[in-house]
Structure 1
Amino acid sequence: MFTGLLVYVDDVILVGSSLLEFQMVKDSLHSAFGIKDLGVLKYFLGLEVAHSTSGISLCQRKYCLDLLQEIGTLGSKPVSTPLDPALKLTLDQGKPCEDVMGYRRLVGRLLYLTHTRPDISFATQQLSQFMSQPTDMHYTAALRVLKYLKASPGLGLFFPRNTPLTLQGYSDADWAGCLDTRRSISGYCFYLGNSLISWKAKKKVTVSRSSSEAEYRALAYATCELQWLLYLLKDLRISCLKTPVLFCDSQSALHIAVNPVFHERTKHLEIDCHVVREKLQAGVVKLVPIPTALQVADIFTKPLQPRIF
């Protein structure tokens, strides 16, 4: 039996496996603080929760529609991707933005929306780089994200009730993807069964000398996230049925993980990157090659054409 409490200021969510335990916890809290029981979770901090016999869905539909109405894009024509694949955002393109605070507020609200919309994670990562000195081009790109959201404001995450307890992830990198710093963009996502539970798009803190190094660094980030997820599942008393699998579309990165003595490609790598090989040898993770066309994490590293997106 397991019971967990999620507390945010004066709001509390109870999760667990026993309704009897729930009642005991609520009675205890009520005697101490005088709480109000709102029943089955339906709405929490902008997150809308819907329950059905097939599973649980999360979305931020009202939050998204309120954002569209506030910015004035509720009646705009929808677009098929958050970012224009032909446009590469840089620091000095365009004229200085007239409403800097408005741009920062907009990007901040988009960042909160990524809690249920992983499809805009890369776009918000790109836009958040220009908070200090945004231009009109950056603001236009942010408005395009809103036009993309206009097409499906209620889109979110679905967690089926009957899903295998297996953990699998996807790791990818776009070498020298940032035109201003030539740093690479890495991305990963993890599924528990058929449920997407973790994802990230992030610019590296150092410049990679080759695509192999960029992909291997992305693998290291993903491996650390995988280890944290395993710790979390253990705390929740959930055991994976099989060894977690991490998919990567770079053969050279997979070779480095097996044998770090890989000539010119590895002599510039820091020691901490070899956490991948350590976890591989310990049996914590299994690395599997995957074709680029099937690389799910590609959506977190670069703007894609509509068909691929």
Structure 2
Amino acid sequence: MGLQGKHRADGSIERYKAILVAKGYTQQLGVDYIETLSLVTRMTTIRTFLALVVARGWDIQQLDLNNSFLHGDLEEEVYMVLPPGFQTSKSNQVCRLLRSLYGLKQESRQWNAKLTKALQDNGFHQSSADPSLFTKQSEHSFTALLVYVDDILVAGTNPNQIKELKHFLDRSFKIKDLGALIYFLGIEAFRNTEGINIYQRKYTLEILQENGFLEAKPAKTPSVPGQRLTSLEGNLLAQPEVFRRSVGKLLYLTNTRPNITYAVQQLSQFVDKPRDTHLVAAHRVLRYLKASPGKGLFYPSNPHIKLQGFSDSEWATCVENRKSITGFCIYLGNSLISWKTKKQATVSRSSSEVEYKALASTTCEIQWLLYIIADMKVKVNNLVALFCDNSSVVAIVENHVFHEHTKHTEIDCHVVRQKINEGVIKLPSVTSHNQIADGFTKAFV
């Protein structure tokens, strides 16, 4: 048996519930379970979902499914000893589970399969770009549903259609109707006529309190400009789990704080053997958060849907292996919905090659976002503008005769040229001063 608490956005306990937990740690792969993976939506999908819904002026509702893992049907034979206090005439009896139970390895997978089938039987279409997105279109209405395990966001053009969906889910699984979106996966939301703010103030304050930085002196930037962290400088930490826990929480915080993405990416490279220099750099991020714990993203109510991206890179920035960094950000209108800072997998021979790889990564992300937007029944009529401040890369992309410059580059990078020929993207010029993605490849100055 276990006791679990549900929290409100302000951190207070909403309610407690007792749950019966199976000893899943005794299960054997191939005997007691086969699949464990459960589909969860990407944070980029959530942000795109919110940006589109707010731009269109649709209603957003939040649902919580009660005891979701108890609804999954088991396909394997699973037996469990009787729970403590259960009275029976025979001491050697066990029970065979027909449905899933908390603690089982396959609990999440079976629940997801049950919910997916129920929604599809109700007329919903599962997105191929993100299987956690379900949509249903009729002659006069459109409804979209986004699932993260047992937390659900519902939006649509017709309030009656949303109401009918709630009744269906309540009959099938029993739900708790949470009303308008306020608090979802640790992300707080405030919506008015101008748009919606999403932020993680409560989560940020919890990180600061856990690390003793509530009264710390604020820092103006999340990292020291020009600083290059290495795996050998400094002394190994006596308690590396403190650093690892902080970096893990900061990684989740980047879902609404793109301005700390580069600094956190640098820290995440050293979670294996963190040193005191890395801990000091992590403390710098915490001091930066102390200055504005409630900052986040704002998605305005704007019916004009326009997708545009910014791609940049930093050549050979890693002092240990000379690998480069890719950085990009993508806007839906004025709403920032996707961004990334990532070290490239291979060493590049030139800055043009590095920019070309970054451009390819951004192009793939744009294509994926177009699939999500199309599933939401929203049309992007114009070519997607992808801004790159490297003129040589733009020339290589637009002129395929430059074979001598690109013969050493991976074939998959040529996806940029393909998408230009297909009429998906275009490459307008942009100055380095106006390159927004520059902030995802180096520290703020």
When normalised by structure 1's length, the TM-score is 0.96
Distance 1:261 1:213 in 2: 16
SS in 2 for 1:36: strand
Q: Post-superposition shift, 1:94? A: 0.7
Q: Pick the aligned partner of 2:423 from 274, 278, 283.
A: 283
Equivalent AA in structure 1 for residue 193 of structure 2: T
Distance 1:110 1:174 in 2: 23
**1:86-97 mapped onto 2 (5 Å cutoff):** 86-97=226-237
When structure 1 is superposed on structure 2, of 111-120 and 253-262 the one drifting more is 253-262
Distance 1:28 1:265 in 2: 59
Is the 1:58–1:158 Cα contact (8 Å) retained in structure 2? yes
When structure 1 is superposed on structure 2, of 139-148 and 261-270 the one drifting more is 261-270
- 1:37 maps to 2:189: no
Q: How many residues align?
A: 305
Residue 27 of structure 1: aligned partner:
167
- 1:62 maps to 2:233: no
When structure 1 is superposed on structure 2, of 59-68 and 92-101 the one drifting more is 92-101
Please list every run of at least 4 consecutive aligned residues from structure 1 whose deviation after the TM superposition is greater than 3 angstroms. Answer: none
Q: Return the structure number with greater helix share.
A: 1
Residue 211 of structure 1: aligned partner:
351
Q: Pick the aligned partner of 1:84 from 215, 224, 231.
A: 224
SS in 1 for 2:206: helix
Distance 1:54 1:208 in 2: 45
Is the 2:237–2:274 Cα contact (8 Å) retained in structure 1? yes
Q: Post-superposition shift, 1:199? A: 0.5
Distance 2:186 2:352 in 1: 40
Identity of aligned residues (%): 54
Please list the CA deviations of residues 205-226 of structure 1 after superposition, one character each: whole Å capped at 9, or x if unmatched: 0011000000011000000111
Please list the CA deviations of residues 143-179 of structure 1 after superposition, one character each: whole Å capped at 9, or x if unmatched: 1001011111111011101252110000000000111
Please list the CA deviations of residues 110-134 of structure 1 after superposition, one character each: whole Å capped at 9, or x if unmatched: 0000110011111111111111111
- For structure 2, the 5+ residue unaligned runs are 1-140
- 1:125 maps to 2:265: yes
Equivalent AA in structure 2 for residue 74 of structure 1: L
SS in 2 for 1:39: strand
Q: Return the structure number with greater strand share.
A: 2
SS in 1 for 2:308: strand
- For structure 1, the 5+ residue unaligned runs are none
- 1:171 maps to 2:311: yes
Q: Pick the aligned partner of 1:261 from 394, 401, 414.
A: 401
Residue 200 of structure 1: aligned partner:
340
- 1:238 maps to 2:384: no
Residue 109 of structure 1: aligned partner:
249
SS in 1 for 2:347: coil
When structure 1 is superposed on structure 2, of 252-261 and 1-10 the one drifting more is 1-10
Is the 1:167–1:193 Cα contact (8 Å) retained in structure 2? yes
Distance 1:265 1:138 in 2: 38
Bigger CA radius of gyration: 2
Q: Post-superposition shift, 1:86? A: 2.9
Residue 53 of structure 1: aligned partner:
193
Distance 2:303 2:297 in 1: 14
Distance 1:163 1:121 in 2: 29
CA 1:198–1:37: 2 relative to 1, 3 Å = same
Residue 442 of structure 2: aligned partner:
302
SS in 2 for 1:38: strand
Is the 1:123–1:145 Cα contact (8 Å) retained in structure 2? yes
Residue 212 of structure 2: aligned partner:
72
Residue 414 of structure 2: aligned partner:
274
Is the 1:173–1:214 Cα contact (8 Å) retained in structure 2? yes
Q: CA RMSD in A?
A: 1.1
When normalised by structure 2's length, the TM-score is 0.67
Q: Post-superposition shift, 1:288? A: 1.2
When structure 1 is superposed on structure 2, of 255-264 and 25-34 the one drifting more is 255-264
